Structure 1
Amino acid sequence: MCVGMFIALLDIQIVSASLRDIGGGLSAGVDETAWVQTSYLIAEIVVIPLSGWLSRVFSTRWLFAASAVGFTLASLLCGVAWNIQSMIVFRALQGFLGGSMIPMVFTSAFVFFGGKQRVIAAATIGAIASIAPTLGPTLGGWITDHWSWHWLFYINLVPGLFVTLAVPMLVNIDSPDLSLLRRADYLGMLLLAVFLGCLEYTLEEGPRWNWLSDSTITATAWLSGICGVAFVMRSLTYDHPVVDLRALRDLNFALGCLFSFITGIGIFATIYLTPIFLGRVEGYSALQIGEAVFSTGVFQILTIPLYAYLAQRYDLRWILMAGLAVFALSMWDFTPITHDWGAHQLLLPQALRGAAQQLAVPPVVTLTLGGLPPARLRLASGLFNLMRNLGGAIGIAVCATILNDRTNLHFYRLAEHLNTTNESMNQWLAQSAGQFAAVGDPNGEFRALWQLTFREAQTLSYADAFLAITICFVLATVLVPLMRKVVPPPAPSADAH
């Protein structure tokens, strides 16, 4: 089941460093190609909160197996897509079919394991949940550089087939209950789908179209808000809601969802910021970007034994607090970023982020879901996992807006100092004028000055985005003591499954 979750999470970001190659192969523009990632995210974020109810209807075993086979077939279709329209449809199908595998792994671990085993299981799942999207750009860049973008999807075929065959043989923790179909909250499902789908579209496309100045973004924002309010009211009044919002009355669960949301911001927003900085400012290729961000995954893996040691001996709340604090420190270490930062300068902040992910994500899982009764666990797990992906979507949208707005602000501020009284600029222009005149470009030095100023303005905006993420993690760190301690239950007996 962890293999299935890994490939579903990996595919969120595996295309991020290769969108230019996919667009070139399918003769698509930048705006169209962006939908290769957006369609997957919209479909996945819609199905994740529904997975708890679906697993009760069809059972964990058969829903997971069906999701795996559907995800595998959709991956094959993505690899053979003949134009950008077919690619977008197949990516949406891939995200919808793969999304339900993610929360089922979390709930199954709490059924299979208890006591100290539960801590190790949560550490494993937490590591996979945060390392898979982190490795996406690295693996995607390497595959595209050495083979072709088609193999970004073909690599899912073997593990997908393995999961499809193995899960029905190995997983048997519940039975289907088709009677739930008769009293299902179909109106709630429709409201949830429209709410999350429009919200994800608004967040993904908003920065590109200047938010509410675009009529389509305004319409989807209003539709999302109206359906969101209606869904909350429906879920709190209906006897059998599709998502258990009442679980938010539990302080640990409410805080855990908040921490899941903030770790989603940290994981996905930094995966978004670092590759585009290296691509736009440094001019790195897809493979070079992958190699530069690879260190995060390495240090997260190296921290797994440390977490396992600490989790057996110390209160998970303090481990979580340390993880969030280290995450804040890693984001702070990104803020002195300059235009000449490359893999070597990024090593320390990325190493800290990798360690922080391992120290922060697993304790959140245990503290949030470990205190819920089994009857509420599955419905609540979908909400918990939704918050991480929603945090990533909102974090990316806010960071994209910061980059756009703050780049313009920094550019104007820098340009104010570029006048005839600036001796450094006058000397630079005098030296450059001769070089450009020699190649037949008499005004090239002014264009070069503009490019230089814009590059520095861009770099300063990345520092602003990392500072905003730092503030989020500082606030989260302060709230950790409000959580209560969760004692894992004893391990289930051998015949409990």
Structure 2
Amino acid sequence: MTAAADPPQRADLSAWLAVAAGTLGAFMATLDISIVNSALPTIQGEIGASGTEGTWIATAYLVAEIVAIPMAGWLQRVLGLRTFLLMAAGLFTAFSVVCGVATTLVVMILGRVGQGFFGGVMIPTAQTVIAQRLPPAQQPVGVAAFGVTAIMGPVLGPLIGGWLTENISWHYAFFLNLPVCAILAVLLLVGLRHEPAKWHLLREADWRGIIGLTLGLGGLTVFLEDGQREQWFDSSLIRWMALITVTGIGFLFWGQTAARRPIIKLKLLLDRQFGSVAIMGLVLGVVLYGTSYVIPQFLATLAGYNALQSGKVVLLSGIPSLLLMMLVPVLLKRIDIRIAVGGGLAIMAGAALLDANLTAASTGSAFTVSQLLRGVGQILAMLFLSQAVIRSVPAADAGDASGLFGAARNLGGSLALAGISILQEQRVWLHSRRLEESLNANSLSVQDYLTGLGRSAGSPDAGLRLIGQQIQGEALTMAYNDIFWVMGMVTLAALPLILFLRPLPQGAPAASVH
């Protein structure tokens, strides 16, 4: 009774500055996931990368982030929260500069790996700052602020990257992090106190798991990205990558049995509810990162959109997400989790299938309805799944569950980008051959059409080149339709998993998860 009568504890200015620092760091990291998407065609051209190689620029960040997220808590305990965040922000900015000055694909990928790792550790740490520096009564404000950054960062990325590319240079999509990091450093120095490092914890780390996670994910990514181009196991590179992947997975499972505290607690996946949530998180990553990559590529390649115009189309999905974010407390209390997650996944599947009917003449307006629907679907699915992550495991495992869910979602994005590269290459070839087979060289209508093209172009050879370009354009459009159809069907296939979800406890406060 005495405790209940006490006035509620209030956070001071330094606590709010610390929360602002953590949120700003998380926003910077989530923004850079997608800031290159709309500018990717321009970047590829300047560093000499092909369309399929360009997916590495996006994939490298996601893979590094998957490795980093489970390590964030351990690194924080070793270095102390302020020192850890200052080092992460500084190195993230340094690797951003590497990306900004890159002139080759290799240098760009190295920079993106560094960005992904040090940006990845800043995201879950923002939640730690909220939990440590804010009293329970004020934590929902911090959780809401973090939620807005988690949703809006990937959505605003293509728009900001596009604007900088069109008005200044794509290099500034990376140099932008320099002033932001300076502000972040000041906030951290003022808002957090110094904690001594605990170097003895280095001996307790699950080094087998860390090595296994790095080798397994790195090898798997190279295997999937380059397998089609290298003719799979006909290539020694792919055979080596397969061996590295298997070795990495072996080390990861060795760490599960030998380490006192594994880097990532895979046994949580054996829980029926959490395993279902993780699979749905994987699917969520496939759709979120897959669509944010494919839409700018389609608009740049077939509609002739510049980076800024593509970014505006991607931004549409953030509008309903931001509006619904304000209704979080009401939604959590009034809507059953199975209905919310099922409805969110169904809406996202419908949006993907809606985009599977594009034509070579489609422009950004063709994505308006699907993008708005996608924004509604992703906030419903992500919001309620994030609550299910925390509620489906014991309180002691909440941090591990959160990291595993974030890793699953990013893994879905990485697999989506690799799958898109493979699917696009295969389906463009298939559709091109089918279209060519339908054009009979002895057909009078085909000959008349070619003659007309030749007259308008000034020579018969130019007419042949034009019809070749038309075939490629139509084949590429059909390949993009296939990609959207696959994403829609994968999402629908995950819908039955909602039956394994349990209702959220009544009156429980909203939990935060990346």
Task: Give TM-score, length-normalised by structure 2.
Answer: 0.85
Q: Give the Å deviation of 1:119.
A: 7.3
Are 1:239 and 2:260 an aligned pair? yes
Find 2:466's aligned residue among 448, 460, 475. Answer: 448
Structure 2 distance, partners of 1:470, 1:237, is: 40
Which stretch has the larger CA shift, 332-341 or 425-434?
A: 425-434
Query: Are residues 280 and 77 of structure 1, via their aligned partners in 2, closer, same or farther at CA, if it must alter by over 3 Å?
Result: closer
Are 1:410 and 2:410 an aligned pair? no
Counterpart residue number, 2:19:
none
Counterpart of 2:501, as a letter, is M
* 1:256-297 Cα shifts (integer Å, max 9, x gaps): 211111110001111121111112222222222223322122
Which stretch has the larger CA shift, 420-429 or 269-278?
A: 420-429
Structure 1 unpaired stretches of 5+: 493-497
Aligned counterparts, 1:38-437, within 5 A: 38-80=59-101, 86-106=107-127, 125-167=146-188, 169-170=190-191, 178-419=199-440, 424-436=445-457
Counterpart residue number, 1:485:
503
Query: Are residues 118 and 470 of structure 1, via their aligned partners in 2, closer, same or farther at CA, if it must alter by over 3 Å?
Result: farther
Query: Are residues 487 and 111 of structure 1, via their aligned partners in 2, closer, same or farther at CA, if it must alter by over 3 Å?
Result: farther
Structure 2 distance, partners of 1:100, 1:162, is: 18
Contact 2:333 2:506 in 1 (8 A): no
Structure 2 distance, partners of 1:142, 1:214, is: 41
Query: Are residues 377 and 98 of structure 1, via their aligned partners in 2, closer, same or farther at CA, if it must alter by over 3 Å?
Result: same
Counterpart of 2:491, as a letter, is F
SS of alignment partner, residue 326 of structure 2 = helix
Structure 2 distance, partners of 1:124, 1:463, is: 36
Counterpart of 2:462, as a letter, is G
Query: Are residues 146 and 482 of structure 1, via their aligned partners in 2, closer, same or farther at CA, if it must alter by over 3 Å?
Result: same
Counterpart of 2:401, as a letter, is A
Query: Are residues 490 and 352 of structure 1, via their aligned partners in 2, closer, same or farther at CA, if it must alter by over 3 Å?
Result: closer
Q: Give the Å deviation of 1:341.
A: 1.1
Structure 2 distance, partners of 1:161, 1:15, is: 22
SS of alignment partner, residue 428 of structure 2 = helix
Structure 2 distance, partners of 1:324, 1:244, is: 26
Structure 1 distance, partners of 2:264, 2:152, is: 27
Structure 2 unpaired stretches of 5+: 1-21
Contact 1:319 1:360 in 2 (8 A): yes
Contact 1:58 1:175 in 2 (8 A): yes
Counterpart residue number, 2:486:
468
Q: Give the Å deviation of 1:72.
A: 2.5
Q: Give the Å deviation of 1:169.
A: 4.6
* 1:88-123 Cα shifts (integer Å, max 9, x gaps): 443332222221112333565567789998777666
**Identity within the alignment, %:** 32
Contact 2:337 2:502 in 1 (8 A): no
* 1:185-207 Cα shifts (integer Å, max 9, x gaps): 22222222211222233333335
SS of alignment partner, residue 100 of structure 1 = helix
Q: Give the Å deviation of 1:414.
A: 2.0
Structure 2 distance, partners of 1:32, 1:469, is: 21
Contact 1:18 1:286 in 2 (8 A): yes
Structure 1 distance, partners of 2:433, 2:235, is: 25
* 1:359-388 Cα shifts (integer Å, max 9, x gaps): 111211111124434432323322221111
Structure 2 distance, partners of 1:207, 1:166, is: 47
Q: Give the Å deviation of 1:146.
A: 0.6
Find 1:457's aligned residue among 475, 500, 508. Answer: 475
Give the RMSD, CA atoms, in angstroms. Answer: 3.1
Number of residue-to-residue matches in the alignment: 488
Contact 1:277 1:462 in 2 (8 A): yes
* 1:396-430 Cα shifts (integer Å, max 9, x gaps): 11122111111222222222221157565344234
Which stretch has the larger CA shift, 60-69 or 455-464?
A: 60-69
* 1:144-175 Cα shifts (integer Å, max 9, x gaps): 11111221122212332333332465468999
* 1:325-360 Cα shifts (integer Å, max 9, x gaps): 111111111111111111111111111111211111
Structure 2 distance, partners of 1:117, 1:332, is: 41
SS of alignment partner, residue 182 of structure 1 = helix
Query: Are residues 65 and 470 of structure 1, via their aligned partners in 2, closer, same or farther at CA, if it must alter by over 3 Å?
Result: same
Structure 2 distance, partners of 1:183, 1:260, is: 30
Query: Are residues 377 and 188 of structure 1, via their aligned partners in 2, closer, same or farther at CA, if it must alter by over 3 Å?
Result: same
Query: Are residues 215 and 13 of structure 1, via their aligned partners in 2, closer, same or farther at CA, if it must alter by over 3 Å?
Result: farther
Structure 1 distance, partners of 2:226, 2:134, is: 41
Are 1:11 and 2:32 an aligned pair? yes
Query: Are residues 68 and 245 of structure 1, via their aligned partners in 2, closer, same or farther at CA, if it must alter by over 3 Å?
Result: same
Contact 2:215 2:247 in 1 (8 A): no
Contact 1:126 1:361 in 2 (8 A): no
Structure 2 distance, partners of 1:330, 1:117, is: 36
Contact 2:233 2:239 in 1 (8 A): yes
* 1:286-309 Cα shifts (integer Å, max 9, x gaps): 222223322122232233234543
Contact 1:114 1:491 in 2 (8 A): no
Structure 2 distance, partners of 1:39, 1:126, is: 24
Structure 2 distance, partners of 1:87, 1:457, is: 30
Structure 2 distance, partners of 1:175, 1:367, is: 35
SS of alignment partner, residue 460 of structure 2 = coil
Structure 1 distance, partners of 2:383, 2:144, is: 5
Structure 2 distance, partners of 1:141, 1:39, is: 20
Query: Are residues 491 and 369 of structure 1, via their aligned partners in 2, closer, same or farther at CA, if it must alter by over 3 Å?
Result: closer
Query: Are residues 423 and 117 of structure 1, via their aligned partners in 2, closer, same or farther at CA, if it must alter by over 3 Å?
Result: farther
